[in-house]
Amino acid sequence: MDSEVHNLHNSFSEKYDCLQCGNCCRTLGPRITEKDIDKIAKALRCKPSDIIERYIKKDEDNDFIFKSMPCPFLMPDNYCQIYESRPKACREYPHTNRKNFYQIYMLSVKNASTCPIVYEILEHIKK
Ligand code: SF4
Ligand code: SF4
């Protein structure tokens, strides 16, 4: 199943231009790690504590997330201001090229309402 899903991921990732979409950056708050915060701070040449104070809060599970969405680093043209230093969760989204797709099937069903790539992959699997 993984190889089928990965093939679909590659072909639909080519079909959709994320710069014309930006839905994930507008609506989903990525989970942010301390390592992510360090990288963002380095990219913006400030202290990690400044990044936390300005952009980050903790959610009900005690995970770091952005204080508000759309993401504060999403620019009007849908480019990411910190693209090279973006959080790991952003780099991996929409996760459809990871191993053991069956483990994230339910997450993908949820993501299908945000991401057209995931939607198309699930539609193909159904067929
Ligand atoms: S950090 Fe960049 S890739 Fe991640 S949500 Fe914000 S704009 Fe999108
Ligand atoms: S929702 Fe999907 S298609 Fe849209 S920007 Fe995010 S990854 Fe790209």
pLDDT in tens, 31-57: 999 999 999 999 999 999 999 999 999
Q: What is the pTM of this model?
A: 0.92
Ligand 2 neighbourhood includes 78 CB (under 6 angstroms): no
pLDDT in tens, 57-95: 999 999 999 999 999 999 999 999 999 999 999 999 999
CA–CA separation, 92 and 40 (whole Å): 17
Distance 16 CA to ligand 2 centre (A): 8
Residue 106 structure tokens? 């339910």
- Do 55 and 86 have their domain in common? yes
- Do 37 and 83 have their domain in common? yes
Range 18-22 average pLDDT: 96
Q: Which ligand is nearest to the CA of 26?
A: 1
Ligand 2 neighbourhood includes 48 CB (under 6 angstroms): no
Q: Which domain range does residue 7 map to?
A: 1-26+94-127
pLDDT at 42: 97
- Do 72 and 35 have their domain in common? yes
* HSE value, Cβ hemisphere, 13 Å, CA-based, for 51: 24
Please list the helix, strand and coil fractions of the chain in percent, rounded to the nearest 5, in that order: 55, 5, 35
Residue nearest ligand 2's atom 2 by CA:
115
